[in-house]
Structures are given as structure tokens and as C-alpha cells.
Chains A and B, each alone.
Chain A
Amino acid sequence: MKASDRDLRGMKDDEFVDILEERRCSSDLGHAFRTFNPQPYKGGPPCSAADLNKALLDSHFLHRVVKEVAMETGSSQEKVMEEAGEILVEMSHNLHLPFIRLMGYTFSKVIKRLFTSIFVNMDGLNTLQQAVQENPVILMPNHRSYVDFLIISYILFTYDIPVPVIAAGVPLAEMKIVGEILRRSGAFFIRRSIGSDKLYWAVLSEYVRGIVRHGFAPVEFYVEGLRSRTLKSLTPKLGMMQMVLEPYFKGEVFDITLVPISISYDRVLEESLLARELLGVPKPKESTAGLLKASRVLQEDYGSMQVNFGQPLSVRKLCEGKINRSYYNLVPRDLPMKPSAEALACVSWLAHVVVGLQERGSLISPWSLMACLLIQEPTTVLAEQGLLWDDLTEKTLWLRKMVLDFGARLNWPGEAPNSAVMSSAISLHRSIVYLKAGRVYLTQEEVPLRRHRISPEEGVFRTAVPVLMLAAYRNQSLHALVRPAMLAMSICITRSTQRDELFRFFCFLQEVFANEFIFIPGNLSQDFEEACLCLNSCGAVYISEQEVRVSEQSSEVITFLQKLLQPFIDSYQLIFRCVCEEEQVQVFTEKQFLAAVRALALKLILSGETESELHTYETLSSDTQKNVLSALCRLEAVAKLRTSEINEFKVNKAAVRRITDALCGKIPPQMLQAPPDARL
């Protein structure tokens, strides 16, 4: 392969190897019974699940908490201790090599059906193999599908690296048989809502710290907390992250290694389920019966999957100068204590850094690039006239060059001609679009035969499902485009060329969209700088000390990027309008809020009032709606009322209007309360 070809594929440095290739030509049983011989951990001897549990129940820390809880609740210490034991039984993993083998065997069978290939970067695995010998390792994959759950264990088992213990939600444990298999494959289970259950927190945190301290098995958890319904990164959750890091803060381990892992899919198994969930269809409860029913998804083709193991990060190096570990010097080691504000900020920063690296490590598929373009077409065009195939392919190749200029990693197969790559992407995603007579159309679910008419609302829903799926695949590319896109948006809205004015608006956009796009706290100037360099690299702008000036000939870049973010702006504006519209209402619950937004959006789509109506389909997504609500809270335009049992919100309409005006450039954003750089 020529160098230039490689560059165009976007998989530059890393040797990605298809691990299924070997599975297809040798016995799965042989693989399951392979000699598993990982390098031992230098920090200490191995420790069984039972040893770990015993150490936890004997720990001074737990005894202290048990004593406190007994005092508070008035029950006896023995009883509380018993309770702690029960929590531990529910929680603890029971990692057994035979079960890993069983899991490996089943997994081989299933994934060979689902995927044509699973690409893994070998140098990432090699560095990981070194890292697990030195320090406790935390594996931090992104979470896009249930398939993520065991793939890491499967890969590590295949390459003689200690299999991880994995944080999972309790609902998984409750699945018959499957729960137990997962437990023996290394899963431990955490309740979804812990609230203020002191004993539960104590058992969980000490359990996690215990695993990290022993260090012989890597810990795997999803820093995003849950599966992303939109295939976009989620704001990291900090609870688990903090538990995992505490042994370092307290000096109980020399260092901790974080390994960001980016898993990307050509096609996500749950794509339509996720879209439906966003539209308000409840998620089916995890059950073994459900899993068996879902086995029909096995009949379909999901293309390839890429697992990219990032460079190991030393927590010690990252935290240098950020945290004063002597904070713990004056209290007993095992005293339950709140982390310092400094430590919390550091945990949050680290979590964002990891999410950022997960994003940068993800491979963008040709289909995702096409989705970016498709979703910019009006829905009516896609649904009725169709989009010219040649236009789409030409623009996709243009976009491919642009994202490569921006430094993104692409997964563009190099062997086949470009047109074949794109048409196979279309056929893989026939649940969303199809190609007919040189045009691309949106796929809509067939109307059941016995019903002749469908209601207008149902009609919207039929369109919304593929549109939201399309949006999700667009989101797979967003991380590479969002910074320059925000700059493009700033240029379009402010119509300014002044660097500092653009920077101010850029910061404002980051603040408003903090739940949509994950940015590292305190990194604003670098993000802006990167945005400028990206636009400059593709010739869209000239930059100087004071100015960022759009070049005449490449206005299509700016237009494309602006249109990429437009749905978000539109959705936010629409929801802001909704919040302000209701005349008398000052206080509402989240449920009322979601219902009101949905009703308004439906009304607008049906009336065809908005000019580019497709974009309002994203307003229907419950994810967008919730993000707007928390953005309003963050910007202090909406206050959460702490007094009420159910979460109630009080709106400050004037403040919401100010944000609305700032967002469309009517007033400068600095009138808002939140100063851009204060967030850390």
C-alpha cells in the first residue's frame, strides 16, 4: 500500500489487526482452552475474590462505618455488619478462569455472526501488557452498546493479559443465569440509585479501593456511567472515578494507570432501540428472556468493530502540581472522609481528559461522514425526492479530506474503490436510508397492512426514528468537527473578525452546550486555538494576532460546519421559547417540562411552520431536552427547588430570554453571569 493511500484511510501509525480472522480459521474450542498465562503483577501476589471480600469485611474502615451506622439507626453492630455482608454478596465479582473460557467460547460464536471483523490496535495491547505488570490499571472504554461489556475481557484473554473486573449495573446481575455468568466473568454490580445509603457507599468504595490497591486485576468501568443513546460522549460521572483514584491520593499505591479505550462500531446493534428510547419508548428491562428474544438481531450484519487501546496515562504524572496529597496526613488512614475540593476538581478534570482521549481515539467510519451530510438535507427531500447519489459521494470525499486535515482518525477501507466503500455503507444501513435509481431516500418503517391510515403523530414518529438514527451516526464524527464548527458558528452569528470577540462567543457556546459536547475544564484557550488551526489548515480562514478572517473561496467549509451545529442551536432555541411561552407557569416538574417541549415540537413539525423542519426532529429527543434543562440550571436561568420531593424547577424567564438573545447574536454574551474561565 502506498503511503498516500494509508494517509487517506486515516489509520496512520497503528497496526490494527482483525482478531476475528484467526477465529474464523481455527477452532473456537481450542481458543477457549488456550493456556492463559499472563505476566504476573509486580506489586504483589494474586488475590482471590474471596480474599478480597474477607479483607473488606475485616477492614477498619468498614468497622468504623458500621459502628456509625449502628449508632445512627439504633440497630446492633452485628446486624449492620450482616447487612454489609449481604451488600457485598450482591456486589462482588467471582472471577473464575473456567467461566472466562466459557464466555470466550460463546462470545467467539456470537461475534463472528454479528461482525465481519474486529480491529484491535496491537501496539496498544503491547503497552497495556507492560503496564499491567507495573501499576494498578484502570480500563476506561466508552459505552455505545451492550456488546462493549465483555469485548475487552475477550481481547485480553486472547492476548494473555489479566482479565479485568468490570463495574456493571445491578439489573444485569438480576438476569437469570446470565447474571451469574457475568459475575464469574469478573463483573461486579452496583445499584443504580444509591442516594445517601451510607453503608452501601462504604462497602462499594472500599470494595473498589481494595481491587485497585491489590492491583493484580485491572478494573474496567464506564466513566460515562451509562450507554450513550446518541453515540455522543456523555458528561463523565465522577463517583466511581473518585473511588478508583483515592488509593493514589492517599498514597496507598505508587501510581495508577488509566487506559482510555475507544470502541467504535460501523453499525450499533441497538440503533433503533436507542432512537425509540429517545422518543420516549421505555427501554426494555434487562432480562434473560429478553436477551433470547433479541437473538433475532443476530441475523443481521453489523459490519466491523474497532477497539483502540489508548496510550496508558500515569495518574501521578497528570496530577503533578494539581493535588496536595498531604491533605490526608493528619487523619487516620481508614477514617471515612470527604475528598478535598482540590481532589474533586482533579477527579473531574481527569475524567474529562479520559473522555477526550476516548473521542480522539475513535475511528470515524465512512457512513458517519455520509450521515453528517445527509442530515443537513431537509427531511422532505430525503423522504420524498431523494438525494442525488453522486452529490453525496462527491461531498463525502470532500468531507473526508477535511476531517483528515483536522487530524481525525478514519476507518476508511483502503482495498476497495471509494464508491464501493460508500455504497456498502449505505447497504449496511438500509434500516435508515436506501439507494434507488441514483438517489438516496430515508427508510421509513412499513405501515402494518391491517391499518390503512396512520395518525399524523405516528407519521412524525415514523420519520423521527430514522432521523434520530442518522443524527446518532453523525454524532460519531462530531468530536473531530465540533471545535472548528463552534468557531464557524461564532463567525456566522457574531459576524466579527476580532479574535477576542470570537473567543468570547466560542466560550459562551461551550458553556451552553457543555452537556452536548465534552470539553476539558480549563482548556478553553487551547480548544479555541485548535479550532483556529483546523479552519486555517483547510484554508477556510486566515488567522493573525487579532483577527480570524474568512477566506472568500472556501466559504463552503464554514457553511457546512455551521449547518452541522444548527440543529443544536435550533433545538435549544425552540426549548427556550417553550420555557418562556407558558404564561403563568413559573414552576414545573421535569415530566411536565418534557411533555410541554414534545407537544410544542410536534405542533411545529405538523404545521410545517419552521423553515428547515428536519432540525426540530432532534428537539424530540429526550436527551436534547434533558441537556437543555441542565444547561439552564448551569446558567442559572432555572433553579432546582430543593424543598420538593419530586424535582421541581423554577424558571427565570428574563434570564432565559437573555440567553436566547445572546445565542442569536442580538446581545453580546458577556451580559450573562457565568464568566467563561471560572469553570474548573
Chain B
Amino acid sequence: MTICIPLGVPVPHFGNLGAKSFTNNLSGHFCTQHYESPCLSFNRHEVMKWNGWGYSDSRFLFNKKGQAEFTGKRYKLSGMILPALKDWFEGTFGASLQHKSPATPLLNTSAVQAPTLNQDFVEELKSIGVPFSHEAEDRAFRGHGHCLHEIFALREGKIGRVPDMVVWPNCHNDVEKIVALACKHNVCLIPYGGGTSVSSALECPPEETRSIVSLDTSQMNRILWIDEKNLTAHVEAGIIGQDLERLLNESGYCTGHEPDSMEFSSLGGWVSTRASGMKKNIYGNIEDLVVHIKMVTPQGVIEKSCQGPRMSTGPDIHHFILGSEGTLGVVTEVTMKIRPVPEYQKYGSVVFPNFEQGVACLREVAKQRCAPASIRLMDNEQFMFGHALKPQVSSIFTSFLDGLKKFYITKFKGFDPSRLCVATLLFEGNREKVLQHEKQVYDIAAKFGGLAAGEDNGQRGYMLTFVIAYLRDLGMDYYVIAESFETSVPWDRVLDVCRNVKARVVRECKDKGVQFSPLSSCRVTQTYDAGACVYFYFAFNYRGLSDPVHVYEQVEHAAREEILANGGSLSHHHGVGKLRKEWMRETVSEVGVGMLQSVKDYVDPKNIFGNRNLL
């Protein structure tokens, strides 16, 4: 049977339909309530922060008693008190609740430059009936991603070059018309999906003199059909991750693609950045999930003629699209693989005496190809951080149990609390197989000195993924800035990359005059046959620095140099954008850059898609 939703029928509050039968595993982290108005519509900025991460109603703060709490009702952590966070925060960063660095509360629309409009383009756009806006708020909202320097500037009320107008196409045909008009009137188009970029990909090139139009895909958010025989779904590319999962769940399916940003990032964004999902061990990364892609380019529409599962027809044209970062066109529709919603899910965690043993265990798991849906290894610093986020315990019994666990691990097993680290696990499938799988993994872990540390710790680890971005905003209220970056690296270099990059961050901060030693931490988030994905976090107290963002940029730059020198990649899934462009040549070779350039030159000779990412 094929569910078919006819094209062109507006479904403004599509999300409401889903709230009834929500079975998605996200229930672990989010509450169901917020799906009542999930559609990130024209006025996205009404529910989301204009100068920080996520929903306006959800944020960390230190209350009058100096205790940390998380506001709102959307997450499991919402409304809870986190008693240990303050001490950790002050101890780790040398920060103080007395020293605040609050953000500008409201967007000062007069700080936004007046739009440069291409009148002919605007006139013709009106005639085809696509909604658009040149309100300052709409434009400012779509002029940035979530890099630290972007958010930092917004908090200070500084707005740089932003798009001159925003258009909201409703379907593929609308996009075709807009692109044709843009070509005709030589207007610069920047596709905008979820706005979660962390590569400066959404920043408007300051040297761009043409009118810049942000093409917001949020209205193209329908599942056009589900094909249960082939287990595929045909979806408009503007759909947001959590909506896609929820809607598919209603029919008993899922894509299983869960990047950490899935609450806000869009399908089109995943395709154009080569996104990776937490559960890729079962479902694959985005390139494994797509069966068919439709993209509108200045030269016309590019797509394959059939949905064969694999083709030998020259280089796969999908791979020109995947990772093109909005430089070639707009992805409008995607056919994706879907799977039945798993029957059973179980979290788990393992404590290792040290990071080296943990990595060795992950390597062995990858070797035996028995990785659970997700397996992540946090280093000691993150383990400590995770502890600081433990909510207030409700009963004496739980705190007693915690104490007992701690005693067992550190005293009885002799683990050094300043070296131990923890792996979090997520198993999925049918119950019997999950339990069997779980045993296999725990047996391997035991060989590397790993001790099972319970489901709770595992689940909290994954929850952290979704709230960590909110925590950065809290830090920024108290002179602490933070950023994360990632890489992929062969197994034999994982430890070296982790050690050297962390040490490099510490040394660079010191050299650049950062007063208090920074938090420099990493975790292994994905395993592959031939290597792993490593995520780094760093944060520091910037009191006393005249230009903290510049210092932070220098440190991040140095860290990337270090990654590359140690055999890590330029990016595993964040993409290149403009932030990492300078390293493209050494990454893909001179000829490689030439190849990509020649594709760009053919597809978009007038540089209509002029966000200047990648090359």
C-alpha cells in the first residue's frame, strides 16, 4: 500500500497529527507535549531563540539559591534542579556566579542593514505567488548558524551581512521558479534548512554585492508517499528530523537517522552536508539511507531515472549532491529507506579504568562487527561533566546506591577516579536479540577491564547530547565560551589524536593568555571498520581577554591543524562550509579541488548559489 499525500496541498500544522501515537525512542529525552506546535513555520523565531540554541522556553540558569536548573517542559531534564553543576562549573572554569556577561535581550532591528533588493526579481516573485519577507527579524534569523563566533556576535547585538530577503517555497515547482528567476535577475540564493550549521556555511559572504535571498525550505515538509513494499519514503527536503521520525512512527516506521541536531536540522541539510546519525551502525549514514535525490540547479533539475538500490553508471551523481553544501542547488525531494520501528530498546554503560582501555574495547567491538546501534566513549573530563549534570536524587536510597557504586568501582576495583572513563550504549531490535547482543558486548568489554555501569548512566549520556548545546548559552552568561568540533581517524591513531589535540588546546589557551586552564575533552562517538569518529569539546573562561572570539578562533584553528597533522580528517559530518575551506586543497588534493570546481563551473556558472562554501 502506498500512502499518498497529493502535492501542493498545504498542511500547515502537520505536526499535530503525530502527537497522538508517539512511540519514537526519543521519548527517552523529550516529552511529547512540544509536538503540539512543532511546525517550524514562517515565524520560527517565535518559538526559538534568536541568539542561542533551541527553544526559547528551554534554558539553563542559576536560580536565586545558586542552584542550576533547566527551564521549560520539553525535555526529561526540564524543571529539574542540578545541584552539582555550580561547583563543577566554578571549579572547572574558575568562573563565578558574581561575574555575569548577559546577552542583549532583544534584537535591535535598526542594527540590521537595510535590504539590497533586486526590484525586478521581487516583482516577478510576487507574480508567481511565493511568500517572501524582508523584515529585519526574518533576515537576521537566517543569516547565521551556530558557530561560537556567530552566537557571540548576536549576544552582543552585532549583526553582520544578512540575507536581503527570505522566500518560502512550498514545493519543488516553487523552487524551480525561484531558481529560474534568480538566474534571470542575477540574484544570489542561499538555501536554508534547519539553521544548525556549525561551519559558517550560512554566513553571507561579505564581498557579495548582489541581492542575497535566503531560500527557506521549512514549508516543504511533507511526506509525499510511503512505499511499504520497497520500504522507502518520498519526503520533501525541508522536513525537520524530529517531525520526519514522528510522522513515520505513526505508520510504524522510522528512518533511524538521528543526528544530535535532529530536533532542528532538516533532511535537505543532512543531504547537503553528508550528515551522520547516532544510530548509523544499524541504519547507516545519510549516504547509505538515500535512494533518490531531486535537486534544482541553475542548469535544471538533476535526478536519477529509477530507484535501483545500486547502479554502475559511472560516478554516482548523488555524490556530487551529498556534501555540496548549497553551492550547486536546492535539494527538494528525497526518497529514503525506512525500517519498521524497533520492538525493543535498551541503554547501557560500561566503566573502563582508563581511556586507552576503552578505545581498545571499541576497536575490538568494531573488529567483531557487533557494535550496538550506538556506542560512545567519553573521556574522564566528560565523565566528570556528566556527573555534574545528575539531577537532585529523590530518595536516600538512590543516593545510597550511588555511593555504593562509587565505592565498588574506585575502592574495590581500584579504578582511579581521575582516569576512568565511561562508554554509553544503545541496543535496538527484538528483545531476545538485544539481550544476546548486550551480553556479547559486555563480554568484550570485560576483557578490557570494563564494568557494566547500568542503564541509567547510559541514558543520561545520550540525554546530554541534546542539552549540551543549551549549556553553552549558560556558560556564555558567565564569561565561559565553548565549542565542539569533530574528525574521523584510523583506529591506530585514535589515541594519538585525542591526546595531542586535547593537549594542544590546553597549550594554545595558555599561550594566548587564557587565565584559567580550559576544559579540553573528547569522546569517540562512532565506530567503523577502519576507524572512528572523535568529537572534541573545549571551553574556557575568557575574563581578562580583550578579544575572546579571536583567541577562541586561533585555538580552534590550531586544534584543526593538530588533527590534520595526526592523520585525522577535516570533518566527519559537520562539513567544510567557510570555516574549514582553507584546508580543502591539502585534504582532497589539487586535482580534487579542480574536479569539484569544474562541476560548480558547469552547474552554476553565474554563482547563483553563492554562499561560497567548500571551494
Report A's interface with B, CB cutoff 8 A.
250-252, 254-255, 324-326, 328-329, 332-334
A246 smallest CB distance to B (angstroms): 13
| A329→B499 CA distance, assembly (Å) | 17
| A329→B497 CA distance, assembly (Å) | 12
A337 smallest CB distance to B (angstroms): 14
Contact with A along B564-606 (1 / 0, CB 8 A): 1111000000000000000000100000000000000000000
Which residues of the partner chain B approach A255 to less than 8 Å between Cβ atoms? 503
Question: Contact between A254 and B500 (Cβ–Cβ < 8 Å)?
Answer: yes
Which residues of the partner chain A approach B497 to less than 8 Å between Cβ atoms? 251
- Known contacts A333-B492, A333-B493; A251 and B503 CB within 8 A of each other: no
What would 18 more interface pairs be, CB under 8 Å, given A254-B503, A326-B586?
A: A250-B496, A251-B493, A251-B496, A251-B497, A251-B500, A251-B565, A252-B496, A254-B499, A254-B504, A255-B503, A326-B564, A326-B565, A326-B567, A328-B567, A332-B492, A333-B492, A333-B493, A334-B492
A254 smallest CB distance to B (angstroms): 4
Which residues of the partner chain A approach B492 to less than 8 Å between Cβ atoms? 332-334
> Most B CB atoms within 10 A — which of A255, A325, A328, A332?
A325
Which residues of the partner chain A approach B586 to less than 8 Å between Cβ atoms? 326
| A391→B67 CA distance, assembly (Å) | 83
Of all chain B residues, the one with the shortest Cβ separation from A331 is B567
B419 smallest CB distance to A (angstroms): 9
A81 smallest CB distance to B (angstroms): 22
| A332→B531 CA distance, assembly (Å) | 13
Of all chain B residues, the one with the shortest Cβ separation from A314 is B507
Of all chain A residues, the one with the shortest Cβ separation from B568 is A329
Which residues of the partner chain B approach A328 to less than 8 Å between Cβ atoms? 567
| A328→B565 CA distance, assembly (Å) | 9
Q: Which positions 497-540 of chain B face chain A at CB distance < 8 Å?
A: 497, 499-500, 503-504
| A254→B498 CA distance, assembly (Å) | 10
Which residues of the partner chain A approach B564 to less than 8 Å between Cβ atoms? 326
Of all chain B residues, the one with the shortest Cβ separation from A329 is B567
| A493→B565 CA distance, assembly (Å) | 50
B349 smallest CB distance to A (angstroms): 24
Report B's interface with A, CB cutoff 8 A.
492-493, 496-497, 499-500, 503-504, 564-567, 586
Of all chain A residues, the one with the shortest Cβ separation from B506 is A254
Question: Contact between A251 and B567 (Cβ–Cβ < 8 Å)?
Answer: yes
5 residue pairs, one from A and one from B, having the closest CB atoms: A325-B565, A251-B566, A254-B503, A329-B567, A333-B492
Which residues of the partner chain A approach B493 to less than 8 Å between Cβ atoms? 251, 333
Which residues of the partner chain B approach A254 to less than 8 Å between Cβ atoms? 499-500, 503-504
Of all chain B residues, the one with the shortest Cβ separation from A334 is B492
Which residues of the partner chain B approach A250 to less than 8 Å between Cβ atoms? 496
What are 22 contact pairs spanning A and B, CB under 8 A?
Answer: A251-B493, A251-B496, A251-B497, A251-B500, A251-B565, A251-B566, A251-B567, A252-B496, A254-B499, A254-B500, A254-B503, A254-B504, A255-B503, A324-B565, A325-B566, A326-B564, A326-B567, A328-B567, A332-B492, A333-B492, A333-B493, A334-B492
| A334→B499 CA distance, assembly (Å) | 19
Which residues of the partner chain B approach A329 to less than 8 Å between Cβ atoms? 567
| A332→B493 CA distance, assembly (Å) | 9
| A333→B565 CA distance, assembly (Å) | 13
A426 smallest CB distance to B (angstroms): 51
Of all chain A residues, the one with the shortest Cβ separation from B567 is A329
A226 smallest CB distance to B (angstroms): 34
> Most B CB atoms within 10 A — which of A254, A325, A333?
A254
A253 smallest CB distance to B (angstroms): 8
| A84→B148 CA distance, assembly (Å) | 54
| A325→B565 CA distance, assembly (Å) | 5
Of all chain B residues, the one with the shortest Cβ separation from A330 is B567
Which residues of the partner chain A approach B565 to less than 8 Å between Cβ atoms? 251, 324-326
A327 smallest CB distance to B (angstroms): 9
Of all chain A residues, the one with the shortest Cβ separation from B562 is A251
| A462→B416 CA distance, assembly (Å) | 68
Of all chain B residues, the one with the shortest Cβ separation from A248 is B500
Which residues of the partner chain A approach B566 to less than 8 Å between Cβ atoms? 251, 325
A442 smallest CB distance to B (angstroms): 56
> Most B CB atoms within 10 A — which of A255, A329, A332?
A329
Of all chain A residues, the one with the shortest Cβ separation from B489 is A329
Which residues of the partner chain B approach A326 to less than 8 Å between Cβ atoms? 564-565, 567, 586
Which residues of the partner chain A approach B567 to less than 8 Å between Cβ atoms? 251, 326, 328-329
| A252→B496 CA distance, assembly (Å) | 6
Of all chain A residues, the one with the shortest Cβ separation from B511 is A317
| A325→B563 CA distance, assembly (Å) | 11
A118 smallest CB distance to B (angstroms): 35
Of all chain A residues, the one with the shortest Cβ separation from B586 is A326
Of all chain A residues, the one with the shortest Cβ separation from B503 is A254
| A254→B507 CA distance, assembly (Å) | 10
B592 smallest CB distance to A (angstroms): 15
| A324→B566 CA distance, assembly (Å) | 10
Of all chain A residues, the one with the shortest Cβ separation from B497 is A251
A43 smallest CB distance to B (angstroms): 8
> Most B CB atoms within 10 A — which of A251, A328, A332, A334?
A251
Which residues of the partner chain B approach A324 to less than 8 Å between Cβ atoms? 565
Which residues of the partner chain B approach A332 to less than 8 Å between Cβ atoms? 492
A214 smallest CB distance to B (angstroms): 12
B114 smallest CB distance to A (angstroms): 45
B218 smallest CB distance to A (angstroms): 41
| A254→B565 CA distance, assembly (Å) | 11
| A54→B566 CA distance, assembly (Å) | 26
| A326→B493 CA distance, assembly (Å) | 12
Which residues of the partner chain A approach B496 to less than 8 Å between Cβ atoms? 250-252
Of all chain A residues, the one with the shortest Cβ separation from B565 is A325
B382 smallest CB distance to A (angstroms): 19
| A250→B497 CA distance, assembly (Å) | 11
| A324→B565 CA distance, assembly (Å) | 7
Which residues of the partner chain B approach A333 to less than 8 Å between Cβ atoms? 492-493
| A254→B500 CA distance, assembly (Å) | 5
